[in-house]
Structure 1
Amino acid sequence: MILCICGLRRLMQLRVHYRNNWNPYFLLFAQSVILLFVFFTSFVLWSEILLTNEANIVKEFQLKTEGTPKEIHNCSLELYCDCNTTQGCPYHDWELFSVDYQEMIKKLKIFVYPENDNSSPLARIFLPHPNLMDPKIGNYFSEHAFKIALVDSSLVTANPEEAHFFYMPFSINVMRNHPHVHSESAISKFVANYVTRISSRLPFWNASGGADHFFVCCHSVGRDAASLHFGLRNNAIQITCSSNYFQRLFSAHKDIALPQIWPRPHDESLNPPNARNKLAFFAGRVQNSAIRQELLNLWVNDTSFSIFSGPPSFPYEEGFRTSKYCLHVKGYEVNTARVMDAIHFGCIPVLISNYYDLPFANVLDWSKFSIIVNQRDIALLKHILTSVSEQMYTSLYRNLVMVRKHFRWHTVPVDYDAFYMTVYELWRRRGLLRIRTL
């Protein structure tokens, strides 16, 4: 022990002696070598992290979509699957959903507020659209289709005392094209005045504070329609195509995502997977979307993609029929009709739109018939799509065919169609509490 202590003291004396005689440039050189070593090591580690992250993203996607092949083949396109035993099924729990759905069909009642003055120049704001196939409806088809289907359904009651919900039948789309009420501010005032009027004439709004009342809109202007009325904004249910988690007047716990569906005939025969020779298709404006511009920059010259800024060089529908994947990329809103167009034509939707509250997501497992890509991972898009095995793609396609019926409107509603799926989301919200004013 004494020898060790003496040895340490001698080493310390030598260290002080030589430090006093060191050249300062030698010290600076040593520090530079150390810094270069740290930089090189950090660069190598960071490269490994980036490669690992890319591999993890692809692996995570594969785990979400892969399922168990033997179980996937037990699914029939004609019959619904039992989601408790079949991983390939596109439903979270088909058995639970179907039981609750049948109870809804037996019990749900909706009261439609009447508009008695049909001679008013504003009367058509509340009436069903006279021609659902009017090409001017376009992107706002779902708003009008819901109203027509509801009027012709067995869910409507003339007795408000037995109603679970109350429908306020004003149309944002009609207002937007009305000469007396077309500006955003005028629409907000009209809607606020309407709610004040029905709440003063009938007791049902005040009984719940509006928590059992709902309106339907598919126009982007509709997102601010409720802004001037506290109860409508905070309590009433908004059934909307613009279902964005970051939209200030959309609340996912009470509001409902409405599928934005373009009016198309239902008898579309689908191209099978082996007849789809393009990897992915997108056509649309890029001026209002940074993520679309990035998509264009990355993939417009890739021959496996069909990417267009604006209309394609061939019929628009052909892009959906001949492609394996169809891209839904966020534009001005999180939603577009491209998602439902892809489902209609049997093209697997690729959703690149953060914060989109997908329609019927409480019932349907979107990961089983679509591919969801975070906007920040768009540079990995081709890698993600080409990593899908043929078996996985077949599973996605079979499930897509199975869910198509949920995204169709009928003038007289049909079981499990878009109308009944939407009112099922209403049914799930029965008994919601209101926010009281101070």
Structure 2
Amino acid sequence: MFMLTKRTKHHHQPLHHKLLILLSTFTLASILYLSFSFSGSKHVHPSLHPDPLSVTVTAESPRAQSSSLRSQPHSPFANLTSPAPTSASSSADALSPPKKERDFGPYHDWLAFAANFQEMMRSFKIYVYPDAYYSSSSSSSSPFANIFLPHVDPFNPKLGNYFSEHMFKISLLRSSLVTSDPQQAQFFFMPFSINNMRNDPRVRHEGTIADFVAEYAARIGREFGFWNASGGADHFYAHCHSVGRDAASKHRDLLNHAVQVTCSSSYFQRSYVAHKDVALPQVWPRRDEQVLTPPSERHRLVFFSGRIQNSRIRQELIDTYENDTSMDVFSRSPFPYEEGLKGSRYCLHVKGYEVNTARVCDAIHYGCVPVILSNYYDLPFSNILDWSKFSVIINHREISSLKERLLAIPAEIYLSMYHNLSQVRKHFMWHTTPRGFDSFYMTAYQLWVRRGVHRLLY
């Protein structure tokens, strides 16, 4: 009944023959791929390229560099006057920031800062309480008028470390930021001088100064409505004397709310609050801008001279390096202080009684790259300036490795720091009538970025 159809016969190859063919095909493809990759690719395994940074830094040990420095009659920087162009594999490129950052030089972001600075100059206003204008012969003056008035001779060398305290007030009173209309003001200046109080036998003691400042804050709260509208948060005072750190201790709102513009800017101290308070550069009285000694004429590696009393850090520094002929480190320099600053590549700022001294600005003034051994120092203008581009910051527990670390800095990096240092000098200068980006306007900028306090109605 059914018709049978002849089926075509298929011959199946054994399984192991198929596997052999597949394996041979895969192997041939792999060989061709690898051959093409190694012959055509320009990249090899990263381990075949030595790290240019490690080669540059370790090619000559710090000890060998030190011996080389001492044996040469001239500075190793004699033929280098500015940062030289380098190849992509050089140590300068390895240590330098990316191109976008490098364009800003010693600044975090110059373009943003310059734009904000222009806005500050246009809109920022400060009201100065009238005590700063009352002379001793004025009918409105108090017996303590000298504590509030501007200093008559701010460039007197005897002012020393307290120069910035007086120059801030003088510059402010002569600036375009002052307004006689308190309704326009974003900040209010309390013009008392801690330095003048210390020199006044009636109030010179720390407790008496705190009493005086507390009473003054209470008085302007009674006589003016501006303090009460903000609880003092839009008020500020300036000082460089360490006593000023506790001047507000007897007035709670002044201590907790008002801004202190101070040279004693240590965020280790409970009386200084970073981001509320402002670091003021501590500058020595100098009228003229110093012509910088070029790197080729700076034959000393390191210079420091300073008293060791009340400073364990300085004592350790002297004990470690006083017999090292390549390190000019003294408790009292055998040659003029200015000579050490002019003739050295690196100048040390080492914590004394306070984290701050004028030595950072001394070094900047003379073009000597600052080496900062002072923990907890809230450096001036640090939201604008990238201090790592023109200074060396070392933990004061690392004094024993100080020399080794400085010798390991390539010449290109030192020259870059020197160049950046020459750019930032203008920010650490005071003028009786402020101008440009000098210390006054840079400090005023720190206040301007803290504006925006909410107030009650006057």
**Which residue is equivalent to 1:20?**
none
Match of 2:188 among 166, 171, 179: 166
Report the residue type matching 1:107 in the other structure. Answer: S
Is residue 112 of structure 1 aligned with residue 133 of structure 2? no
Q: For residues 242-278 of structure 1, what are the alpha-carbon distances to aligned partners after superposition, in whole Å with 9 as ceiling and x for unaligned?
A: 0001111100020000000001133311110110111
**Which residue is equivalent to 2:161?**
139
Is residue 187 of structure 1 aligned with residue 209 of structure 2? yes
Q: Provide the C-alpha distance between the structure 1 equivalents of 2:101 and 2:450, rounded to a whole number of angstroms.
A: 28
Q: Structure 2 unaligned runs (5+)?
A: 1-57, 62-82, 89-97
Report the residue type matching 2:430 in the other structure. Answer: W
**Which residue is equivalent to 1:353?**
374
- In the TM superposition, 1:212-251 aligns within 5 A as 212-251=234-273
Closer, same or farther: CA 69–375 of 1 in aligned 2, 3 Å: farther
Q: CA deviation at 1:402?
A: 0.3
Q: Structure 1 unaligned runs (5+)?
A: 1-54, 59-65, 72-81
CA contact (8 A) 2:167 2:432 kept: yes
**Which residue is equivalent to 1:368?**
389
Match of 2:230 among 208, 213, 238: 208
Match of 1:150 among 160, 172, 183: 172
CA contact (8 A) 2:155 2:287 kept: no
| Number of aligned residues | 361
Match of 1:91 among 78, 103, 107: 107
Report the residue type matching 2:107 in the other structure. Answer: Y
Report the residue type matching 1:240 in the other structure. Answer: T
- In the TM superposition, 1:32-431 aligns within 5 A as 84-86=100-102, 89-115=105-131, 116=134, 118-119=136-137, 120-310=142-332, 312-431=333-452
Report the residue type matching 2:379 in the other structure. Answer: L
Q: CA deviation at 1:181?
A: 0.9
**Which residue is equivalent to 2:30?**
none
Q: CA deviation at 1:432?
A: 4.5
Q: Provide the C-alpha distance between the structure 2 equivalents of 1:327 and 1:345, rounded to a whole number of angstroms.
A: 13
Q: CA deviation at 1:331?
A: 0.7
Q: CA deviation at 1:69?
A: 5.7
CA contact (8 A) 1:88 1:368 kept: no
Report the residue type matching 1:131 in the other structure. Answer: D
Closer, same or farther: CA 84–213 of 1 in aligned 2, 3 Å: farther
Query: After alignment, is 110-119 or 90-99 more displaced?
Result: 110-119
Q: CA deviation at 1:377?
A: 1.1
Q: Provide the C-alpha distance between the structure 2 equivalents of 1:101 and 1:133, rounded to a whole number of angstroms.
A: 28
Query: TM-score, normalised on structure 1?
Result: 0.79
Q: CA deviation at 1:135?
A: 2.1
Q: Provide the C-alpha distance between the structure 1 equivalents of 2:99 and 2:289, rounded to a whole number of angstroms.
A: 28
SS of residue in 2 equivalent to 1:137: helix
Q: Provide the C-alpha distance between the structure 2 equivalents of 1:275 and 1:429, rounded to a whole number of angstroms.
A: 43
CA contact (8 A) 1:266 1:408 kept: no
Report the residue type matching 2:164 in the other structure. Answer: S
Report the residue type matching 2:127 in the other structure. Answer: F
Please identify the structure whose Cα radius of gyration is greater. Answer: 2
Query: TM-score, normalised on structure 2?
Result: 0.76
CA contact (8 A) 2:167 2:430 kept: yes
Report the residue type matching 1:212 in the other structure. Answer: D
Report the residue type matching 2:424 in the other structure. Answer: V
SS of residue in 1 equivalent to 2:452: coil
What is the identity percentage for the equivalent residue pairs of Structure 1 and Structure 2? 59
Q: Provide the C-alpha distance between the structure 2 equivalents of 1:168 and 1:83, rounded to a whole number of angstroms.
A: 44
Q: Provide the C-alpha distance between the structure 2 equivalents of 1:416 and 1:184, rounded to a whole number of angstroms.
A: 35
SS of residue in 2 equivalent to 1:153: coil
Report the residue type matching 1:376 in the other structure. Answer: R
Q: CA deviation at 1:299?
A: 0.6
CA contact (8 A) 2:135 2:149 kept: no
CA contact (8 A) 2:302 2:328 kept: yes
Q: CA deviation at 1:87?
A: 5.7
CA contact (8 A) 1:188 1:226 kept: yes
